[in-house]
Amino acid sequence: MAREPSARRAFLLHGLDDRGTLVGVDEVASGRTALSCPYCETRLLAKKGRVLAAHFAHDGETCRESAERQAARIPFYDDFETLEPLGRADLKLCRSLRGQTINHTSLRGWRRASLRRLVDAGLIEEVPRGQRWVDGIGSHRHTAWGEAVAAATRHRLTLAAMAEVQARAALAKLDALEARAADRASPLSSVDLRLYRASLARLLSLDLYLLEARADGRVLHKIGVTARSIDDRLPEIRTDLSAHFEQVEVDVHGVWPQRGSLELYFKQRFAPRRATLGSHTEYFEFDTRAEGGRLYRVPFKMLAELDTTPVPQRLADLLHPPETPDPTPSRASAAAERTKALPSP
């Protein structure tokens, strides 16, 4: 089964067709395509192997922009350890300070600079001087947002709370990219914005589902995502299970529209209950008996809470973008923009 792309590397998931429309890698067949890189216009190859998740590669040398720019990556989905503009070290410090008295004078070097970045990002706040060193409070403390982010990186949030963290982080990045595009911060800022919107729309098109499978006396639960009807997926899932069991019955426990972003978090949150089934990583064994322990009922309760946690309308609207896309500058036009920005001799 394909592994998700590395959190440290950017993968290109959309290419441009001849009309300037972004096309996702899921919409084309594997191999050479008629699509080009949004940054450099090089023709793209669609790679759909069993090791890495489907992505585009250049049919030639990979341009620096697509290899290094992280604009299309979705916070708290592509990587649970980063939150722009913060880095891994910043979030590690935020997590390590959790529950402790924060004294900025005890922090040295990069930790002092990291604390300032956490304050600027709204995860840590200064305690008013009259309230310091009272009831164990130091010079700084976590904000509610900082507590939520720290808990998310430790996989301690409920699914509904994680959905809210993802939405807030995704919209904050959208705001930042829209501001850069409006200010023309760089010749490629509009490309970054289009790719990020497309990545969000692609993710929002996926529904989260949980299935219950009774297979040769075992009760398994499968978490997954689909852009199709769950009824279309069931025959494929039964076929997969038939390779491991003789008798298989599969029922749908639930489907949560536009919640595909929670699949990876669910896998990490309940990793101790993962079932061993070949190379599959999406099967779990939860105790569904009425007398079963409380901990085994947690995933079902968390999923039920999603029924009353709506997707923010601004994100849902990304599934229906305007018919006329924003113009995407090519490498040639980007170079021209850079030339215009140079001072006259």
Query: Is residue 52 a part of any domain in this protein?
Result: yes
**Are 302 and 189 contained in the same domain?**
no
Q: What is the pLDDT of residue 337?
A: 42
**Are 101 and 117 contained in the same domain?**
yes
Lowest mean pLDDT among 70-74, 166-170, 196-200: 70-74
Query: Is residue 345 a part of any domain in this protein?
Result: no
**Helix, strand, coil share of the chain (percent; to 5):** 40, 20, 40
Measured between alpha carbons, how far is 312 from 45 in angstroms, rounded to an integer? 34
Measured between alpha carbons, how far is 126 from 142 in angstroms, rounded to an integer? 9
Query: Is residue 253 a part of any domain in this protein?
Result: yes
Higher pLDDT, 46 or 297: 46
Query: Is residue 39 a part of any domain in this protein?
Result: yes
pLDDT at 243 over 50: yes
Averaged pLDDT of the chain: 85
**Are 300 and 226 contained in the same domain?**
yes
**Are 173 and 48 contained in the same domain?**
yes
**Are 168 and 61 contained in the same domain?**
yes
**Average pLDDT of 204-212?**
95
Measured between alpha carbons, how far is 82 from 75 in angstroms, rounded to an integer? 7
What is the number of domains present in the chain? 3
| Among the listed residues 36, 154, 41, 181, the one whose alpha carbon sits nearest the alpha carbon of residue 95 | 154
Q: Label residue 279 exposed, middle or buried (CB < 10 Å: 0-12, 13-18, 19+).
A: exposed
Measured between alpha carbons, how far is 209 from 204 in angstroms, rounded to an integer? 14
Q: What is the pLDDT of residue 83?
A: 87
Higher pLDDT, 48 or 258: 258
Instruction: Give the CA angle between residues 208, 209, 210 to the nearest 5°.
Output: 140
**Are 180 and 228 contained in the same domain?**
no
What are the strands, taking DSSP E only, across 70-217? 124-126, 140-142, 207-215
**Are 36 and 179 contained in the same domain?**
yes
**Are 298 and 224 contained in the same domain?**
yes
Q: What is the pLDDT of residue 331?
A: 47
**Average pLDDT of 315-325?**
73
pLDDT at 308 over 50: yes
pLDDT at 330 over 70: no
**Number of other residues whose CB lies within 10 A of the CB of residue 341:** 10
Q: What is the pLDDT of residue 234?
A: 94
**Are 181 and 224 contained in the same domain?**
no
**Are 282 and 247 contained in the same domain?**
yes
**Are 58 and 136 contained in the same domain?**
no
**Are 233 and 284 contained in the same domain?**
yes
SS (H, E, C) 281-299: CCEECCCCCCCCCHHHHHH
Domain that holds residue 55: 14-77+159-204
